[in-house]
Amino acid sequence: MENFVFQNPTKLIFGKGMIGQLAKEIPAGKRVLVTFGGGSVRKNGVYDQVKEALKDFETIEFWGIEANPKIETLRKAIQLGKEKKVDFLLAVGGGSVIDGSKLISAGILYDGDAWDLVLKGSEEKTLPLGAILTLPATGSEMNRGAVISRLETAEKYAFYSNYPVFSILDPTVTYTLPPYQVACGIADTFVHVMEQYMTTVGQSRLMDRWSEGIIHTLIEIAPEILRRQDHYELMAEFMLCATMGLNGFVALGVRQDWATHMIGHELTALHGLTHGATLAIVLPGLWRTLKQKKMGKLVQFGERIWQITQGSEEERAEATIQKTEAFFKSLGLPTRLSEAGIGESTILEIEKRFNERKVAFGEDQDVTGTVARQILENCR
């Protein structure tokens, strides 16, 4: 196990009716900028609950943070926050709203263009941020990370801010989500765990089994969720899986990959494909390409998760990849570039972007532009 420092200051407030606790978590006298997505919170009752909870606060609302939040939209929120002199942010929505609000919380205190902060990669000078999660997927409610897009250049980059001060998770607000969004959220959670797990064997028995526990749970509940999305216990399990999958809990002292995400971000930037769907396409192709270096972990994963115990290591690893791909298919997600109408020109563009930026990803920093192209060829 490698050295690490771990701190997660986010207060997690979980359960039915807990949005009513909101007023207790924001200091009195704060001028609150409340950020939203496209308006689904008006239909599921969340907006009314938030308004009631904040009736004694001065609030300013900003609507329209889209999936894969765009800097072009976030600049408007930052300007509004500066004009109104807000000193607290509350993000109400899914991971995209929370991601965008992390940049807003930094941009309000920054004199220049907030895209500078995205290119810089991080910013610690921020306004305090709270969150009410409505779509489990990204884990943004309990981590520092965000991903911000720029429409005019079709770019998408990771950005790191401060942790939310608190996050409220009420499983009942997920009942009316579009099933495809739920499926993408399950895939996103699955791959988050894999980025921290599918590297090399023998690093930590504890981290392996914690990761495997999340994956076991997702596989077990996914078919039931697709049939019974309004089941409280199932959605509670899913929400907690998504949060625990990317709050540092399974990352302690282990090497991490993240190449699947970096390639997936490019597919979203270039084609607007939903993030979870890009991951379902890229992960099996990455495993096929890097099968030899990940062989030990693929075999372990196949035995512990899919009960694959027969055959050579090569055969067991291949069976593991096929079973994982079949799981994504069972969610109704594409697992090949051709299913999303993506061809050779996109593969070459992603290779070019990686090479121009001189970046390399993966646990050994060896997923260069050339390797990314090989991975995408194995996704066709």
Report domain extents, the chain.
11-174, 179-377
Q: Give CA separation, 25 vs 1, 54, 90, 302, 343, in Å.
A: 36, 11, 11, 43, 49
Tokens found for residue 226: 């697709």
Task: Count Cβ neighbours within 10 Å for each residue of 76-96 and write b for 16 or more, e otherwise.
Answer: ebbebbeebebbbbbbbbbbb
> What is the rounded distance in angstroms from the CA atom of residue 143 to the CA atom of residue 124?
13
Per the CB < 8 A criterion, the answer to whether 305 and 220 are in contact is no
Question: Tens-of-pLDDT digits for all 380 residues of the chain?
Answer: 899 999 899 999 999 999 999 999 999 999 999 999 988 899 889 999 999 999 999 999 999 999 999 999 999 999 999 999 999 999 999 999 999 999 999 999 999 999 999 999 999 999 999 999 999 999 999 999 999 999 999 999 999 999 999 999 999 999 999 999 999 999 999 999 999 999 999 999 999 999 999 999 999 999 999 999 999 999 999 999 999 999 999 999 999 999 999 999 999 999 999 999 999 999 999 999 999 999 999 999 999 999 999 999 999 999 999 999 999 999 999 999 999 999 999 999 999 999 999 999 999 999 999 999 999 999 99
Q: Where are the beta strands (DSSP E) in the chain?
A: 11-14, 31-35, 58-62, 88-94, 129-135, 145-150, 155-160, 166-169
According to CATH, the topology of domain 179-377 is: Dehydroquinate synthase-like, alpha domain (1.20.1090)
Helix 259-271 and helix 179-197, axial crossing angle in degrees, nearest 10: 150
The per-residue pLDDT for 352 is: 97
Could you give the CA distance from residue 277 to residue 260 in angstroms, rounded to a whole number? 12
**What was the pLDDT predicted at 53?**
95
Closest CA to 38 of 67, 74, 75: 67
Q: For the whole model, what pTM was predicted? A: 0.95
Amino acid making up residue 201: V
- CATH classification (class only), 11-174: alpha beta
